[in-house]
């Protein structure tokens, strides 16, 4: 069941397209995928989207030229460009031709999802900026966490882990998935770093426990204890 809006992902690299689609779908968005500009054109002609994720270089052309043509016709859907081009000139070209955000490859799929949600909110949908569970309130825009009305101080990694668990509330989230979401892909963290962060996070959230261990998998955010 989706909790957010509709997103179109246009990426010719099949592995990356599948990974991005899976990430956004797991986070509650309804995702359509295409491999080229022709596929994107067909998808846009058949429905409304709250955000479109375009790979910059596609088999049938540079997507910024396509987006530029759409903008000239009054198309206003937010666009995130994915690209291996990392110069300032390339980024400025993306924005000048109608892009709203620009993410350089390789990138964290967790960061990509956060940027997509921000663009969806700009379009009037997507994940709410304030997430709630039991007596826990997390303001993602202000990066504030309160439990029972008490403001808590979390590190960046603790906040990131908690945000992922809240988006996936009630579902088991694996350690590898948390690592992928919350740590830089270029980093090489030690094996038990996720467990250490969760241990500190649990202590700061206090009892009754909201984060439960799912044996052999990872962690789950829920009110009831494990059975």
In a domain, 165, yes or no: yes
Determine the average pLDDT of the residues in 3-30. Answer: 86
Binning pLDDT at 50, 70 and 90, where does residue 191 land? low
Give the pLDDT confidence score for residue 187 in this predicted structure.
Answer: 47
**Same domain? 11 vs 98:** yes
Give the SS3 label for residue 47.
Answer: coil
Q: How much of the chain exceeds pLDDT 90, in percent?
A: 33
**Same domain? 10 vs 109:** yes
Q: Which domain holds residue 92?
A: 6-122
User: How many CB atoms are closer than 10 A to CB 177?
Assistant: 20
Binning pLDDT at 50, 70 and 90, where does residue 224 land? low
Which residue, of 71, 102, 122, is where some domain finishes?
Answer: 122
pTM of the model: 0.55
Sole residue written with tokens 């044996």: 215
Question: At 28, which CATH number?
Answer: 3.40.50.2300
Choice between 86 and 161, residue whose per-residue pLDDT is larger: 161
**Same domain? 140 vs 115:** no
**Same domain? 138 vs 174:** yes
Binning pLDDT at 50, 70 and 90, where does residue 141 land? low
Question: At 209, which CATH number?
Answer: 1.10.10.10
**Interval 142-168: pLDDT, tens:** 778 999 999 999 988 898 889 888 877
Binning pLDDT at 50, 70 and 90, where does residue 223 land? low
In a domain, 45, yes or no: yes
Q: List all residues 6 or more positions away from 116 whose beta carbon is below 8 Å from its beta carbon.
A: 7, 24, 29, 51, 53, 80, 126
Choice between 28 and 184, residue whose per-residue pLDDT is larger: 28
Q: List all residues 6 or more positions away from 28 whose beta carbon is below 8 Å from its beta carbon.
A: 1, 2, 3, 4, 127, 167
**Same domain? 160 vs 75:** no
**Same domain? 103 vs 143:** no
Give the pLDDT confidence score for residue 146 in this predicted structure.
Answer: 92
**Same domain? 114 vs 216:** no
Above 50 in pLDDT, residue 125? Answer: no
In a domain, 1, yes or no: no
**Same domain? 141 vs 112:** no
Determine the average pLDDT of the residues in 30-53. Answer: 91
Give the pLDDT confidence score for residue 226 in this predicted structure.
Answer: 44
Above 60 in pLDDT, residue 127? Answer: no
Say if CB 55 and CB 13 are below 8 A apart.
yes
**Same domain? 84 vs 12:** yes
In a domain, 227, yes or no: no
**Same domain? 53 vs 154:** no
**Same domain? 10 vs 108:** yes
- The count of domains in the chain is 2
> Mean pLDDT of all residues in the chain?
83
In a domain, 226, yes or no: no
Q: How far apart (Å, rounded) are the C-alpha atoms in residues 156 and 147?
A: 17
């Amino acid at each position: 069941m989706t909790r957010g809006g509709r997103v179109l992902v246009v990426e010719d690299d099949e592995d990356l397209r599948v990974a991005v689609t899976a990430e956004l779908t797991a986070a509650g968005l309804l995702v359509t995928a295409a491999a080229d500009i022709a596929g994107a054109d067909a998808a846009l002609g058949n429905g409304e989207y709250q955000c479109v994720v375009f790979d910059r270089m596609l088999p049938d052309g540079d997507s910024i030229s396509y987006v530029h043509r759409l903008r000239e016709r009054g198309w206003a859907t937010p666009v995130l460009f994915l690209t291996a081009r990392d110069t300032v000139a390339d980024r400025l070209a993306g924005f000048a031709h109608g892009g709203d955000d620009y993410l350089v490859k390789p990138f964290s799929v967790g960061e990509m999802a956060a940027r997509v949600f921000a663009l969806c909110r700009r379009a009037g949908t997507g994940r709410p900026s304030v997430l709630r569970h039991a007596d826990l309130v997390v303001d993602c825009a202000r990066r504030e966490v309160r439990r029972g009305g008490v403001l808590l101080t979390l590190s960046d990694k603790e906040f990131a882990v908690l945000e992922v668990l809240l988006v996936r509330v009630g579902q088991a989230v694996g350690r590898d998935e948390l690592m992928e979401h919350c740590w830089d892909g270029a980093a090489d963290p030690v094996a038990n770093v996720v467990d250490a962060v969760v241990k500190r996070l649990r202590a700061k959230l206090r009892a009754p426990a909201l984060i439960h261990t799912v044996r052999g998998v990872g962690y789950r955010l829920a009110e009831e204890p494990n059975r």
